[in-house]
Amino acid sequence: MSWGGKKSGGGGEQAADDEELIWNAVTDAVQPILRYEMELDQNKLEKRIRDCFRKGAKGLAFHGKPWYDLINEYADTVFSGIFSSLGDREWLTQADFLLCFDAGIKDNFPKQVIARVPQTEFERVVLAAHDRAHEEQRVAPIIWEIVHESVEGPKGKKKVNNAMEEAWKEAMQACAQHKDANGFVEVWINSSIAKISAASQGEPSWVMEPEMAISVYDALLQAGAMPMALVEMHGPPPPGWHVIRDCVTYAYAMHTVDESGQPQGKMMGKGHGMKGGGKGGKSAKGGKSAKAPRAPNPLLADVPHGSCRDFLLGRCARGDDCKFQHDEIVKAEVELKQALQAAEEEGDAEESEAKRSRLS
């Protein structure tokens, strides 16, 4: 990438377009992939790509945001357009649009936005924004396809897909400097299960069981969800990678809450099942064995999947906004169990037997 002036391009479009840097950049980027394109001829393919880089700058608030934020927003719009338009092409993930992205910024951004930016800083931000946006667009269809095949119900699919996409971006950012494959998977899994838990009243298993999660993450990594920079450095992750099971086990323990609203695995310590953890299930402090997760509330052991547990215990304040079922019949059964438990604690055998018969 350079700060050189605009290049003159070949014929084929309007004269005004001949002066743009994007003209030659797209032509150069298309050359290595032309033999793999079976639908569009060269002119049509180049025009479709150029349109994405031109339209990507429309609507940007050039006078209200820092230049580096504008470059990242431009990257999101451009690569969203390219993958939407050409996402079914097998060659797309191999195409190199870095110089096109650089040219698109110089052609479409007001000159004063980047005029005083040091060249090295500009190129660093351009490269990072290009790689990030390209990777996000490459991985998003992989996540959706595997989640759609694996998770039941439209609401469940949406929750898991949104959580995994958002968490994947967070993991990319967290591991951008250290290029740690294990660390990326740990952050991705832990963050996505936390988001699923937040959308399911602290019960991620209602949406996706832990064993299913292990299978889904393994399938995602085998399908290419590991960032390419990490694959190039460490190689592709092995099938059935033990790190996935360790991280899923830890994440479900930390983000599944008991009847008191506390995480079941709050005493596990950071090291359990995660990077840097000790052997034999020791906690991060003092080397003491971690306490077992608190047992689930026996009153709720047999409630149907999707029932609102807060409602069954008489403490749901969400009313009509609650996403889970408010079943009065199930609630009556839970209340009867509570009464039976109280009668047994008081030693009233006759009343206990009567309530047990009603439950049966």
Backbone CA torsion sign across 353, 355, 356, 360: positive
Mean pLDDT of 195-218: 94
Q: Which residue has the higher pLDDT, 347 or 209?
A: 209
pLDDT-derived band of residue 280, with 50, 70 and 90 as boundaries?
Answer: very low
- What Rg do the C-alpha atoms of the chain give, in angstroms? 27
**Cα–Cα dist 245/258, whole Å:** 22
Q: Is the pLDDT of residue 59 over 80?
A: yes
Q: Using an 8 Å Cβ cutoff, are 165 and 140 in contact?
A: yes
Mean pLDDT of 87-107: 93
What percent of the chain shows pLDDT beyond 70? Answer: 73
Query: What six digits make up the tokens of 83?
Result: 């993958």
Residue 19: its pLDDT value, please? 53
- The type of residue at 5 is G
Q: Is the pLDDT of residue 14 over 70?
A: no
- Return the half-sphere exposure (C-beta side, CA atoms, 13 A cut-off) of residue 121: 7
pLDDT-derived band of residue 56, with 50, 70 and 90 as boundaries?
Answer: very high
Residues 6+ apart with CB under 8 A from 351: 343
Residue 245: its pLDDT value, please? 96
pLDDT-derived band of residue 338, with 50, 70 and 90 as boundaries?
Answer: confident
Q: Where are the alpha helices (DSSP H) in 151-209?
A: 154-174, 181-198
Q: Which of 70, 95, 71, 76 lies closest to 133 in space, CA to CA? A: 76
Residue 311: its pLDDT value, please? 73
Collapse the DSSP code of 257 into the 3-class scheme (helix H, G, I; strand E, B; otherwise coil) and give the result.
Answer: strand
For 145, which DSSP code?
A: H
Q: Is the pLDDT of residue 230 over 50?
A: yes
Mean pLDDT of 290-316: 62
Mean pLDDT of 286-302: 49
Backbone CA torsion sign across 312, 316, 321, 323: negative
For 136, 189, 201, 275, 280, the CA distances from 210, given in Å and listed in that order, are: 25, 11, 16, 19, 21
Q: Using an 8 Å Cβ cutoff, are 234 and 181 in contact?
A: yes
pLDDT-derived band of residue 331, with 50, 70 and 90 as boundaries?
Answer: confident
Query: What six digits make up the tokens of 158?
Result: 């949406």
Collapse the DSSP code of 343 into the 3-class scheme (helix H, G, I; strand E, B; otherwise coil) and give the result.
Answer: helix
pLDDT in tens, 110-128: 999 999 999 999 999 999 9
Q: Can you spell out the DSSP letters for 271-291? A: TTTSTT--GGGB-SSTTPBPP
